[in-house]
């Protein structure tokens, strides 16, 4: 599902965020991406959904050669990936329903289909009945779950999350990671960047370790 081969990412001021990173994440697999702050976890995820471009190397995501993708094709790659951020990136002037429905609107879906899918997604993250609320009226954990509902409402084959539990207490944090595992059980490929070692021990899934831009362990 994700294939990095000899990927480098250098920023204009000369800092090298990633150097010679290679790994493969198979379809249906779930893995944690970990390492100290500044190791390049966020950069790696941003390369996967091409929020940034690699300086060198080849990245293939769900069959797309990401570095060669034309701007016109880019939206279609993004529709195959669900992305969850630490700061959840919700639109505060829109209701929970509209936030979650956004990936469906973008793909041209309208009417009853949208409603069913949004309800199903909110149901899954335990927020059924909060459709009409605005994000700022929700707690941090609830907001994060709205972000997750938005990431999976269009049933993408790949889900990536950047520190999805960063601001949450242990209980909420576990709930959210369990949610990801549940999606993985349904066949979604999942890649989670986190520095909370607790999850790694609790779930016993594959761990990809980065250290200062280098691959430490991809086993």
Partner 1 sequence: MKAYLGRHAQVFMRTLGDFARSPAATLLTVAMIGVTLMLPTGLYVALLNLQRLSHHWQPRGSLTVYLKRHTDTRATAARLDALPGVAASRYISPEQGLQELRTRARLRVAVGILRHNPLPAVVILRPRSQTAHAVAALARQVATLPGVAHVESNFTWLRRLDAVLALGHRAVAILAALLGLALVLILGNTTRASVASRAAEISVVRLVGGTNAFIRRPFLYAGALAGGLGALCALIFLELALWALDGPVQRLDTLYGSAYKLVGLGAGQALGLLALGAGLGWLGARIAVGHQLRRDQG
> How long a stretch of residues is the chain?
219
In the bound state with partner 1, the residue whose beta carbon lies nearer, of 95 and 200, is 95
Q: How far is CA 69 from the centre of its chain?
A: 20
Nearest approach, Cβ of residue 92 and partner 1 (Å): 9
How far apart, in whole angstroms, are the C-alpha atoms of residue 77 and residue 71?
10
Alpha-carbon dihedral 119, 122, 126, 128, rounded to 10 degrees: -40
| Closest CB to partner 1 among residues 9, 154 | 154
Q: Which one, 63 or 204, has the nearer CB to partner 1? A: 63
Q: Which is nearer to partner 1, 78 or 195 (CB)?
A: 78
Binding site for partner 1 (CB under 8 A): 49, 51, 71-72, 75-79, 83, 89, 91, 102-103, 105-111, 150, 154
Among residues 17, 66, 30, 18, the alpha carbon closest in space to that of 160 is found at: 30
CB of 113 to partner 1, least distance (A): 10
Q: Are 180 and 20 in contact (CB under 8 A)?
A: no
- What distance in Å separates the CA atoms of residue 219 and residue 204, rounded to the nearest whole number? 12
- Closer CB to partner 1, 102 or 218, in the complex: 102
Shortest distance, position 158 Cβ to partner 1, whole Å: 12
Shortest distance, position 147 Cβ to partner 1, whole Å: 10
CB of 91 to partner 1, least distance (A): 5
154 versus 209: smaller Cβ distance to partner 1: 154
Alpha helices in the chain (DSSP H): 41-48, 74-78, 96-106, 112-124, 140-152, 170-185, 197-203
- Work out how close the CB of 162 gets to partner 1 at its nearest, in angstroms, rounded to a whole number: 12
Calculate ∠ Cα 210-218-40, nearest 5°: 20
């Amino acid at each position: 599902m994700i294939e990095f081969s000899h990927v480098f990412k250098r920023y204009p001021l000369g800092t090298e965020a990633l150097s010679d990173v290679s790994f493969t994440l198979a379809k249906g697999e779930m893995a944690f991406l970990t390492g100290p702050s500044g190791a390049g976890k966020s950069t790696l995820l941003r390369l996967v959904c091409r929020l940034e471009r690699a300086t060198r190397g080849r990245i293939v995501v769900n069959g797309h050669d990401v570095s060669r993708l034309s701007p016109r094709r880019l939206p279609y790659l993004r529709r195959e990936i669900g992305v969850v951020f630490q700061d959840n990136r919700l639109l505060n002037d829109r209701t929970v329903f509209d936030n979650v429905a956004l990936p469906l609107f973008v793909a041209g879906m309208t009417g009853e289909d949208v409603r069913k899918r949004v309800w199903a997604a909110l149901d899954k993250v335990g927020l059924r009945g909060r459709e009409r609320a605005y994000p700022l009226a929700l707690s941090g954990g609830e907001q994060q779950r709205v972000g997750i509902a938005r990431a999976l409402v269009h049933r993408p084959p790949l889900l990536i999350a950047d520190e999805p539990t960063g601001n949450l207490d242990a209980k909420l944090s576990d709930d959210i990671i369990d949610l990801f595992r549940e999606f993985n059980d349904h066949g979604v490929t999942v890649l989670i960047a986190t520095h909370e070692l607790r999850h790694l021990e609790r779930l016993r899934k594959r761990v990809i370790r980065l250290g200062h831009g280098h691959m430490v362990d991809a086993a």
